[in-house]
């Protein structure tokens, strides 16, 4: 017989143009540019394919790609790439938010460098400067999205200040105004004394700050009453003291008056059920102009509202405190009260929740102010009903409770901002107190005395229209007809209450009850490997661009997706990203090996009856993998998708199938030809399955393997039930068990991988793997028993299989025993340390859940090592 073995060295065999090593930097940019230039991501609203659409949560024009964006975009890109392969007409629409406060702050800082303020320029010139900044420096994140591999339709990029989106804003404002759902009133709002504007709830960050709790006696003798406050300076604006109506301690005082210290004013003592009789003294000061709860009490009891601070939080009350900043006034007021003997108690430090401006971190001041509001009652009810009746599904479902807790108790929404950058409120005021709201197709009133409202709308107002304004509304466009409602909204659970609820309200209102999206897919926050929140002060912040530069976009994406369980926080570490890079390299090397050994996708797969048990096994495992991946995608379990694919690729394909196939592939036989076709098919399907998560490396490998144009539109793998083979899986499981046990024994005994050992294998026929004996011996370096064979160690494997080994001369028994004893001592120390920590109730009670879980895993590993080491010591031959 002619020897047809391929004698070329591996490096000289065909590799489909693949380099010896995968270098992401050589691939990613050029590959992405080709995807865009070829129009792969451009949606066609005239297509007869079923639609699938996602509108990207618009990042701020001032922003850059942080790790939260990277997670959010990875999930979205995974979904849209999956849907393209499943035959949908996909629109993933990108864009940016004008970020009113943040952008204005950026431009004002640049003006300050020139010793200028916006007031020096005037409104019109300042807005021009902002547009100039946007054109020159804004939107850096869009280029960074390309680095990550976002397959968005760049031809449809939108900006919340675009002409079309501005028209949408004016249209819905006019409709809401005409329907009586927008009004102007004096209400308590969040106010930033530095940015000099009202803030939405989402623009306020609450932290536990250190302050002081001061108890103050109002009045004299038996008619006196003690209140406690953390903001003594606001007492200058008190207009009542409130107690609970059932509090027996104060019933005799309800309806009387008490003198307010330092002011000479007399204020009433009232009863209100809002008061908690168990907190402090059970009596609270009421300052309607400087506290939201006090404002509500004031409304119920017709109390006057006295504003005692201006927009910069400076005291305006005539007297000794006038002109003092709030932080200067607070100790001054306490000192004056102390001097009068009215300080009953002082508690410092006192931890309490304090709101801060999310942009400048200034402490927010509750302030009575004339602002524009949306009456959210009917809108919020509709938003709640859409989830309750199933039009919108929240994933994971358990987070629906949080959603209902918000929309069912929503307060009216303050939508006006005291800024110059943004959508200016389309309301004009006339000389005779006329108020006219102007729609987009209407001319504003002209003539002497008419002026437009100075305020702009909350950024969340325009972004609340995002799912339909970006598709062309209020015009009836082809995009709106094809892609609305959008399919999925992917976002963090932290803005479920704010942005998601606003989009629901506006979408249902503007689109005649049609929901803005069918599914709300909520993910958690990215944390470090110990479950700790990322913070610059902790030194654990991850820059995804740094990871992309060092490990590649695919490795960064896989690391993020592999931790993404629905609604749960996502732990990541650089070590895991390195592991993801290694995974990409593993795929590269496996595909390169397959090409060098003739793997092909040409022709039909051989019939199952013609295949070896090994080929049947890997095809069966592939069917299970496809089934599991589909199931996990359907439930938005990205971590499980990645875990399933990782183990199939690394364990089943690379570690087992490739190794088991090497002896076959070394020959030019019909069996080898069938295996080459199976190997090509398995890799083809695997690369398709992985493409949504790691698009760059899979594109390179798939094109090299198949010769196709792009995997972007390659058909998503389907399940062929005829290829599910339980018998083959059982057979290979038994083979793997034997190989694994022998390898573990060799490792435990310190045998070098290349060192051959004589062994007798008995019982292989019990589990139907006797035909694989030659292969097993090749995999674990076992020679047939020689004439002087003496068994010095015996391994009993499940199924009645026995492996007798002759280790004479192969093991330095004394040295190996010493090594194992050293390992046992280290394992015992590790186990003792872990038990000590887990037995410490104080530690277990305070440590993050992930940290405790990691220590439990360490303990389990140490205990398993002790069992393994004991078995290895017992297996050592006598010295």
Instruction: Please name which of 60, 2, 56, 714 lies closest in space to residue 359, comparing C-alpha atoms.
Output: 60
Pairing of strands 240-243, 266-271: parallel
Residue 346: partners with Cβ closer than 8 Å, 6 or more residues away: 212, 213, 214, 215, 334
State yes or no: 536 annotated in a binding site.
yes
In the DSSP assignment, the letter for residue 606 is P
CA gap 439, 434 in Å, rounded: 16
Beta strands in 341-465 (DSSP E): 343-357, 365-374, 393-395, 413-414, 416-417, 427-429, 435-437, 451-452, 456-457
Q: How many Å apart are CA 199 and CA 190, to the nearest integer?
A: 5
Q: Quick one: how far is CA 520 from the chain centroid?
A: 13
Coil/strand/helix, residue 448 = coil
Nearest alpha carbon to residue 686 among 813, 586, 596? 586
Structure tokens at 864: 């398993």
CB contact set of 157 (below 8 Å; sequence gap of 6+): 93, 94, 95, 142
If you count DSSP H runs as helices and E runs as strands, how many of each does the chain have, helices first?
Answer: 28, 29
* CB distance 96 to 58 below 8 Å: yes
Q: 322-335 as b/e, with b when 16 or more CB fall inside 10 Å?
A: eebebeebbebbbe
By the 10 Å C-beta count (0-12 exposed, 13-18 middle, 19+ buried), 141 is classed as buried
Dihedral, CA of residue 487, residue 156, residue 490 and residue 506, to nearest 10: -70
Rounded Cα gap, residues 382 and 388, in angstroms: 10
Annotated binding site: 536
Annotated binding site for ATP: 536
């Amino acid at each position: 017989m002619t020897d047809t073995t391929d004698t070329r060295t591996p490096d000289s065999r065909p590799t489909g143009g693949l380099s010896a090593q995968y270098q992401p930097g050589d691939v990613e940019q050029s590959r992405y540019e080709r995807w865009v230039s070829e129009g792969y991501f451009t949606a066609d609203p005239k297509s007869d394919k079923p639609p699938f659409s996602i509108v990207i949560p618009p990042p701020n024009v001032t922003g850059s790609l942080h790790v939260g964006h990277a997670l959010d975009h990875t999930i979205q890109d995974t979904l849209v790439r999956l849907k393209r392969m499943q035959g949908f007409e996909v629109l993933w629409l990108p864009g940016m938010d004008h970020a009113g406060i943040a952008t204005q702050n950026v431009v004002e800082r640049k003006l300050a460098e020139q010793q200028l303020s916006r007031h020096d320029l005037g409104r019109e010139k300042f807005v021009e400067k902002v547009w100039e900044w946007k054109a020159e420096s804004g939107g850096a994140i869009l280029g960074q999205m390309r680095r990550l591999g976002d397959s968005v339709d760049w031809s449809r990029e939108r900006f919340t200040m675009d002409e079309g989106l501005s028209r949408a804003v004016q249209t819905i404002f006019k409709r809401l105004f005409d329907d009586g759902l927008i009004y102007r009133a004096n209400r308590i709002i969040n106010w930033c004394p530095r940015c000099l504007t009202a803030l939405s709830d989402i623009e306020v960050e609450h932290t536990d700050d250190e302050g002081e709790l001061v108890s103050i006696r109002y009045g004299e003798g038996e008619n006196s009453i003690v209140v406690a406050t953390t903001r003594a300076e606001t007492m200058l604006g008190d207009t009542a003291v409130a107690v609970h109506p059932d509090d027996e301690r104060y019933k005799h005082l309800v309806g009387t008056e008490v003198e307010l210290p330092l002011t000479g004013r007399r204020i009433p003592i009232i009863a209100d059920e809002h008061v908690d009789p168990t907190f402090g003294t059970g009596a609270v000061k009421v300052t309607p102009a400087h506290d939201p709860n006090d404002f509500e009490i004031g409304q119920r009891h017709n109390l006057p509202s006295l504003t005692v601070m201006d927009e910069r939080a400076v005291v305006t009350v005539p007297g000794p405190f006038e002109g003092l900043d709030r932080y200067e006034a607070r100790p001054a007021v306490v000192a004056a009260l102390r001097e009068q003997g009215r300080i009953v108690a002082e508690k410092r430090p006192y931890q309490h929740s304090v709101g801060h401006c999310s942009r400048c971190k200034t402490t927010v001041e509750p302030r009575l102010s004339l602002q524009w509001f949306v009456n959210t009652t009917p809108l919020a009810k509709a938003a709640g009903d859409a989830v309750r009746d199933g039009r919108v599904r929240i994933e994971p479902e358990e987070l629906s409770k949080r959603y209902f807790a918000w929309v069912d108790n929503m307060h009216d929404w303050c939508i006006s901002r005291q800024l110059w950058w943004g959508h200016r409120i389309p309301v004009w005021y006339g000389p005779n107190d006329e108020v006219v709201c102007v729609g987009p197709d209407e001319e504003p009133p002209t003539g002497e005395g008419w002026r437009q409202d100075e305020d702009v709308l909350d950024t969340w107002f325009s972004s609340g229209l995002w799912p339909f304004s970006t598709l062309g509304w209020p015009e009836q466009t082809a995009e709106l007809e094809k892609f609305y409602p959008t399919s999925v909204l992917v976002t963090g659970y932290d803005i479920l209450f704010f942005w998601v609820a606003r989009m629901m309200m506006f979408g249902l209102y503007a689109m005649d009850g049609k929901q803005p999206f069918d599914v709300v897919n909520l993910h958690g926050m990215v944390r470090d490997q110990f479950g700790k929140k990322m913070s610059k002060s902790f030194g654990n912040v991850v820059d995804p661009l740094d990871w992309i530069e060092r490990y590649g976009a695919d490795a960064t994406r896989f690391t993020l997706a592999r931790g993404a369980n629905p609604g749960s926080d996502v732990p990541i570490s650089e070590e895991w990203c390195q592991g993801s890079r290694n995974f990409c390299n593993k795929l590269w090397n496996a595909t390169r090996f397959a090409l060098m050994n003739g793997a092909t996708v040409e022709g039909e797969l051989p019939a199952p009856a013609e295949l070896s048990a090994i080929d049947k096994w890997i095809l069966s495992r592939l069917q299970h993998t496809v089934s599991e991946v589909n199931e996990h995608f359907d439930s938005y379990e990205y971590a499980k998708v990645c875990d399933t694919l990782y183990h199939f690729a690394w364990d089943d394909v690379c570690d087992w199938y490739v190794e088991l196939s090497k002896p076959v592939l070394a020959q030019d036989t019909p069996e080898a030809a069938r295996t080459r076709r199976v190997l090509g098919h398995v890799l083809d399907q695997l690369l398709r399955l992985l493409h949504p998560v790691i698009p760059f490396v899979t594109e390179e490998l798939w094109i090299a393997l198949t010769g196709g144009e792009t995997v972007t539109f390659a058909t998503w793998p389907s399940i062929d039930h005829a290829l599910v083979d339980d018998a083959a899986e059982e057979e290979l499981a038994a083979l793997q068990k034997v190989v694994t046990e022998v390898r573990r024994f060799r490792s435990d005994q310190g045998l070098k991988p290349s060192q051959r050992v004589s062994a007798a294998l008995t019982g292989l026929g019990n589990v139907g793997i006797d035909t694989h004996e030659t292969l097993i011996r090749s995999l674990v370096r076992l020679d047939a028993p020689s004439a002087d064979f003496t068994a010095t160690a015996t391994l009993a494997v499940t199924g009645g299989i026995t492996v007798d080994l002759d280790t004479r001369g192969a093991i330095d028994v004394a040295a190996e025993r010493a090594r194992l004893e050293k390992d046992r001592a280290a394992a015992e120390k590790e186990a003792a340390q872990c038990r000590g920590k887990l037995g410490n109730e104080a530690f277990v009670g305070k440590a993050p859940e992930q940290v405790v879980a990691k220590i439990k895993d360490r303990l389990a590993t140490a205990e398993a090592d002790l069992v393994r080491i004991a078995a290895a010591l017992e297996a050592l031959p006598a010295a």
